[in-house]
Structure 1
Amino acid sequence: MPMTDEEAALQAISTLDPLSVDQHAAKANIDSTLGSDDPYVDIHKLFGLYNVLYFRSLLLPRVEVTWSSRLTLCVGICELVRDPNNGNKYTRVRLKLSEPLLKYRPRSDVINTLLHEAIHSYLFITTSWRHARGDDGTGHGAGFLLLADAINNHGGYEVNVFHTFHDEVDSYRTHIWQCDGPCKSQAPFFGIVKRSMNRPPSKGDPWWRRHEQDCGGVFTKVAEPELSKEQVERLSGLKKAGRQKNKLDEWVSRGKLDSVTTGDLAQSSSDSRKRRKSTTTAAEPATKRSRACLLCPICAQGVTEEGMNEHIDLEHPL
């Protein structure tokens, strides 16, 4: 019969009084490390020491600890890794800490998060991967709370069930949609959906059906993060042109044309016609001449239809 979370927690707690020789050595090393003023945290070194002190030396080498640049909604997570020879069996845990959320937090937040996820890892391993998820589905049941309280009391830590880094999480929710229905004027969300990834509200959201029944509005994207120079360079020509069109629309909507007089536009058009006339001969076919009659919407220079995207990319980069 597999061990329960509570039984596994009590076994770990029973090793804290008295400590073994190895545990004493691990605790002394931890105290020395945390006693320094260095804000840097070597999570791999600390994890190895905590493994000996609090988790009966059962975590290594079955638990892999790493930083993740993709975690922006939670500060830590435990991923179960399946046996490559048996897809129905788990053999390892991949413990990930959020680099975006923790990189500017105090060292204590990193350590408490590391211990939090280490408790989950310990319970997964000792209960034959049947770590209880509890009523809320998060795995913070009686066994988790027992072991977390014991570690907090023993080492003066603050391992909590949920993190409170709401401002940090919200700063990465840069893809924003606004509903145009009645919920737009209703608290607490006012029809706004914010996400860290470009995933529009859809049927995949658990609240979608209720929203369609109660509101029925349509979500429109109103904000998104700026692409880096490298990301822009990886875009196809069509997508680059679309981004440039959006830039022009915004330029016009802000009234930038107010500073351009009719005379300026007429002169620009006249100059453009002169340029086209000087570069087009009577012997050219009509279809070929028509290709050179497009005006760049930014500088009014004559450009062939095929070369318009390239011209905008080169002469008027974002």
Structure 2
Amino acid sequence: MARIYFINGFMDAGKTTFIKELLCQDYFQISGKTLLIECEEGDEEYASDFLEAHNVKKVSIENEEDFNPEYLAEIEKEYKPKRVIIEYNGMWDRKNLEFPWYWEDLVEISIFDATTFDMYSRNMKSLVAEQVRNSLMAILNRCDSVLDKIGSYRRSLKAVNSYLNVVFYDKDGEMSGRLDEDLPYDVNEDELTITDDTYATFYIDIMENVDRYVGKQVNLQGMVIKKSEDVTTSCILGRFAMTCCAEDLSMFGFVCSCPGADELELDDWVKYSGIVDKDYIEKYDLWYPVIYVKEMEHCSPPENNLVEVV
């Protein structure tokens, strides 16, 4: 079965350039045919001699309704490719998209123009979210003029898909290393008080950089999201974040070890203080934070119980 590369993004984000550069890489060479399915035509084009040189057969799909499992399976059967690259139309629906049932080896990559990302994320938030929800990587091109904003762009993408690898390129196509973000609190302090405005940033950063928080005291407010049936001193306390719409919420919760957890009820709101440690999930090869609660008291829900990703 062919490996499928699904490249998504809005018009002029740089999808075609990315695919052409990918086809030229030594590590991407194969001894077989590549089927390229193009769902929109931008300013950058595929020259016929380029496609021939890389053993690529291109098929265009102009109508969204034609992008369906039956037609995809039909053209794959016709060309018998070793792999398939899809340049998808970012304005088409990704949420309910269906592929042929046997397309299991699917790699999704989303590409954005950093100079227009703010516009799309404000006006088409649900489309942006669906582009990255199942992606392995998100690429933000042309970051030079918005360096002060890409930290917030990165957080908004990670809020939808915490496993997403986000990389940045400048206008010349050179990759920038991961940028140090200006956090809305002093991470060097031994005690951190996390407010409604800083909760989402704190959650996303600690999930990626748990070691720099281990040993610190954190003061938070959250609700009881889940309780363990077997352990009376363990529960998940957290908040919900709206990532694209009111119907699409992400849980930003922490595993907490706290005496008296068995007396808490689901949806109770508490203020709590504790020391950050970490634990390991072998199945996912993942270290995650655990908060050992020292003090906890019931409190009223905040005026807005959803946190904002900024």
Q: TM-score, normalised by structure 2?
A: 0.25
Higher strand share: 2
Q: TM-score, normalised by structure 1?
A: 0.24
Higher helix share: 1
